[in-house]
Amino acid sequence: SYRKGGYHAVRIADNFSAGRYIAQKKLGWGQFSTVWLAYDTESSKYVALKIQKSAPQFSQAAIHEIEILSAVAAGDPSNDKCTVRLVDHFKHAGPNGQHLCMVLEFLGDSLLSLIKYNRYKGLEFHRVREISRCILTALDYLHRELRIIHTDLKPENILLCSNINPSKDPIRSGVTPVLERPEGNPNGGVVISSIEKRLKQRAKRAVARISERRIGMGGGVGRTPKPPRILDGIDFTCKVVDFGNACWADSPIAEEIQTRQYRAPEVILQSGYSFAADIWSFACTAFELATGEMMFTPKTGQGFSEDEDHLAMMMEFLGKIPRKIATSGARSKEYFDRYGDLKRIRRLKYGSIDRLLVDKYKFSDADAREFAGFLSPMLDFDPDKRPTAQQCLQHPWLNADSETSRLNAGMNDLEIKAKK
Ligand code: ATP
Ligand code: MG
Ligand code: MG
């Protein structure tokens, strides 16, 4: 993709915007862009520099993303709404064409890497709560104040404000910026610190160990292992990023939105979507944080499509889709008969989120009941019945950290003692 119309090749210490930004190291990449850690010589701060591919469709997409990000920044002067902040934007001419560049506040690793570092076991409840509060704060702001739908909410698109890996956080560890390309060093003089190497190796070994055990035990359910030390000292605030697919509620961008596993039923059935589609994705994300596994992983099978498998899984966890809802979308006839039953997947194994949490993920009955009580309303098949982000923020589960609120939530002393 490093050709005309594609990515812009960057070397360490390359300059951008008339010398204001100096490239330090690559942070990540996506379908549209590469993202670099850069040093802002004007503010003396590190920033994330997102360099878009140069072909017209990518520039168009960047213009849209900049428009949304500008609105997000304008409505949040104190920068406390848990959404990534656009600092600046400009054009950069390179051998592959003109690239639109976005300068964003520098954030840490994604929730997906956090789940990986935690060996695909769930995070502790207090962490899930903390993170959930941040995401819901962002959604409440986007939905209620800006009328923006994110449309691609998932762990990968939520970044921690502090880093898992201390050597990746140049601000905290006080690493001095590279201002010039050192001569004769093909890596541009960047030395990967030994601590970073060690942490990477340790995470790799941990994941390898857990996969071995999974194979050995046929499912890998068992006692929750102690979280690795890498998680110590993280405050767990996070921010929603990647507004490339976001849209204003009154002008939806596409019929098919969202990443498969986080896709709401109304999107699959094409019966129209709005803010509630983000709430569905949020519930899937919260489930994944708490269990370490995706809630829905549909697959194409013999005689049925991925969409049909997805709808079947939803019904197996959440109960039957009401006939009126099942039959109301532009694509309903492909999947459902007129009674509201799936045409090609006939025998469903009905269960519930409660049971799943207890049987598969070994939650205690009380934990399962409370967490399922938080998630279930957001997974209502009727998008109009799902709670708003503002309503979710009021849910007792989110505010149940202290013992008193646990007592208020109906838990007895013995259960609290047993937990300690
Ligand atoms: P996609 O194909 O997901 O739409 P994209 O080209 O729009 O990708 P982003 O998802 O915005 O790019 O960013 C790509 C990666 O760069 C992210 O997954 C993340 O690892 C990193 N990244 C993005 N923004 C930041 C930031 N503000 N701070 C640190 N890293 C970031
Ligand atoms: Mg992305
Ligand atoms: Mg994007």
pLDDT digits (tens, 9 = 90+) for 237-265: 999 999 999 999 999 889 999 999 999 99
Atom of ligand 1 nearest to the CA of 108: 29
d(CA 185, ligand 2 centre) in Å: 31
C-beta of 83 in contact with ligand 1 (< 6 A): no
C-beta of 170 in contact with ligand 1 (< 6 A): no
d(CA 157, ligand 1 centre) in Å: 7
On the CB side of 205, CA atoms within 13 Å amount to: 7
Give the mutation target among 27, 100, 105, 113 for probing the ligand 1 site: most ligand atoms within 8 A of CB: 27
Mean pLDDT of the 16-35 span: 95
Give the mutation target among 99, 154, 241 for probing the ligand 1 site: most ligand atoms within 8 A of CB: 241
Q: Give the type of residue at 177.
A: P
| Structure-block tokens of residue 234 | 């993280």
C-beta of 314 in contact with ligand 1 (< 6 A): no
- Ranked by mean pLDDT, the top range of 28-37, 121-130, 187-196, 376-385 is 376-385
C-beta of 28 in contact with ligand 1 (< 6 A): yes
Which of the pair, 273 or 1, is modelled with greater confidence?
A: 273
Q: Mean pLDDT score of the chain, rounded to an integer?
A: 86
Active-site option among 140, 152, 242, 354: 152
**pLDDT at residue 191 greater than cutoff 50:** no
Mean pLDDT of the 63-86 span: 98
C-beta of 44 in contact with ligand 1 (< 6 A): no
Q: Angle at CA 297, nearest 5°, toward 335 and 370?
A: 105
Known catalytic membership, residue 152:
yes
C-beta of 48 in contact with ligand 1 (< 6 A): yes
Q: pTM score, two decimals?
A: 0.85
Strands 97-105 and 45-52, sheet pairing: antiparallel
Protein residue closest via CA to atom 8 of ligand 1: 30
Of all residues in the chain, what percent carry a pLDDT higher than 70? Answer: 79
Q: Which residues surround ligand 2, an ion (CB under 5 A)?
A: 30, 242
Contact (Cβ atoms closer than 8 angstroms) between residue 3 and residue 99: no
Atom of ligand 1 nearest to the CA of 35: 16
Mean pLDDT of the 364-383 span: 97
Atom of ligand 1 nearest to the CA of 28: 16
d(CA 104, ligand 2 centre) in Å: 14
State the sign of the Cα–Cα–Cα–Cα dihedral 214, 153, 138, 111: positive
What gap in Å lies between CA 234 and CA 111, rounded to an integer?
12
Mean pLDDT of the 319-325 span: 96
Could you tell me which of 28, 35, 207, 31 has the C-alpha nearest to residue 115? 207
| Structure-block tokens of residue 87 | 């600092």
